[in-house]
């Protein structure tokens, strides 16, 4: 494997990790506030469908982005209404949202476009274009550094750079701001936060709003990358993001490396359809299943003990 091939695999890893990173950060904010968000998969699907449909109808990916964020926020608020306001089971609410999104996107898509649940293909201004960073062409001819800058760092869309920027921003919000301190406190000891005169409900809804925006960005990225929406196009990325969140132990920087690892495995599986090790040939199905195999390994607890926020998944009932 030569240097250029390694750079191309890493470049593909970043592209594939972008929606996972945004979704993982979405889950991080909601779970840090004590709300388990199994519905990340449903938010991804809703955002991908609405962004693709709006972009196809209006011809603008920016309007599509707003529609995707709006759809994801709507699902977040439904989850908040069920699990925070009415104190329902957070797991059941999230799973219900996933089923709702999987069916609703296909039914509405078929009614809207008559394409079997798909949306029309996106072209031109209906998709995000890659950004060529300054001096990319000039540095491309320099050995080692040039290909890394031109292929790996430059040439991504705005949402990829936004996702990478979201990592330090999330760290600062959670660990250096008053809002982040209160948010983490709600996930650990909501009664203490309530005693201090701070609204637990308001903070948890704020976390779900942030999660909705991040999932909206992730779903829009998926639709733009695939040039349209197809049935179940999220392909379990919401669940993989949850596994990455556990792997990252609910920390932003660890989330970056965890999602890049998943992206790397998917990139290797896409590039090498089969690998021969002597007389043994590893089939393409195994290569494509690598991210899901890692998900099972993580959820089975083989990566070490991960301790979630103490109040995660627990509805808060205000003491009188």
Q: Where are the alpha helices (DSSP H) in 33-60?
A: 40-58
Question: What is the spatial distance between Cα 163 and Cα 255, in angstroms, rounded to a whole number?
Answer: 11
The confidence score (pLDDT) of residue 313 equals 83
Q: Which residues contact 8 (CB under 8 A, 6 or more apart)?
A: 151, 271
* pLDDT beneath 50: ranges in the chain: none
* Position 276 in a domain: yes
Question: What is the spatial distance between Cα 52 and Cα 54, in angstroms, rounded to a whole number?
Answer: 6
* Position 315 in a domain: no
The confidence score (pLDDT) of residue 137 equals 76
Could you tell me if 105 and 49 are in contact, meaning their C-beta atoms sit under 8 angstroms apart? yes
* Position 312 in a domain: no
* Position 92 in a domain: yes
The confidence score (pLDDT) of residue 278 equals 62
* Position 308 in a domain: no
Q: Which residues contact 33 (CB under 8 A, 6 or more apart)?
A: 183, 186, 187, 203, 204, 206, 207, 208
Q: Which helix (H) or strand (E) holds 277?
A: strand 275-277
Question: What is the spatial distance between Cα 42 and Cα 47, in angstroms, rounded to a whole number?
Answer: 9
The number of beta carbons lying within 10 Å of the beta carbon of residue 195 is: 10
Is the sign of the CA dihedral 229, 262, 66, 200 positive or negative? positive
* Position 213 in a domain: yes
Domain that holds residue 293: 3-299
Indicate the number of domains in the chain.
1
* Position 320 in a domain: no
∠ CA 284-287-291, rounded to 5°:
145
Paired sense of beta strands 280-282 and 275-277, if any: antiparallel
* Position 150 in a domain: yes
The number of residues making up the chain comes to 320
Q: Specify the CATH number for the domain of residue 216.
A: 1.10.3470
């Amino acid at each position: 494997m030569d240097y250029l091939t390694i750079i191309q695999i890493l470049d593909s890893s970043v592209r594939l990790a972008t929606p996972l990173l945004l979704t993982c950060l979405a889950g991080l904010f909601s779970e840090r506030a004590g709300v388990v968000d199994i519905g990340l998969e449903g938010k991804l699907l809703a955002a991908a469908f609405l962004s693709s449909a709006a972009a196809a109808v209006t011809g603008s990916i920016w309007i599509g982005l707003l529609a995707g964020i709006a759809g994801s926020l709507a699902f977040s608020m439904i989850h908040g209404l069920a699990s925070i306001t009415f104190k329902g089971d957070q797991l059941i609410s999230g799973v219900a949202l996933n089923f709702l999104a999987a069916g609703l996107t296909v039914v509405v898509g078929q009614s809207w476009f008559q394409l079997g649940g798909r949306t029309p293909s996106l072209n031109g201004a209906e998709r995000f274009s890659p950004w060529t960073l300054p001096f990319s062409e000039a540095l491309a001819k320099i050995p080692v550094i040039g290909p890394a800058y031109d292929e790996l760092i430059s040439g991504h869309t705005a949402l990829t750079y936004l996702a990478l920027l979201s990592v330090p921003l999330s760290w600062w919000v959670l660990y250096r701001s008053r809002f982040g301190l209160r948010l983490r406190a709600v996930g650990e000891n909501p009664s203490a936060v309530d005693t201090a005169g701070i609204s637990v409900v308001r903070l948890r809804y704020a976390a779900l709003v942030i999660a909705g925006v991040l999932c909206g960005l992730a779903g829009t990225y998926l639709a733009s990358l695939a040039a349209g929406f197809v049935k179940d196009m999220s392909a379990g990325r919401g669940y993989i993001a949850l596994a990455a969140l556990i792997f990252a132990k609910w920390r932003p920087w660890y989330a970056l490396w965890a999602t890049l690892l998943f992206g790397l495995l998917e990139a290797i599986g896409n590039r090498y359809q089969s690998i021969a090790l002597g007389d043994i040939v590893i089939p393409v199905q195994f290569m494509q299943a690598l991210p899901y195999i890692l998900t099972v390994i993580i959820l089975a607890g083989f990566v070490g003990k991960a301790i979630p926020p103490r109040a995660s998944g627990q509805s808060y009932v205000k003491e009188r």
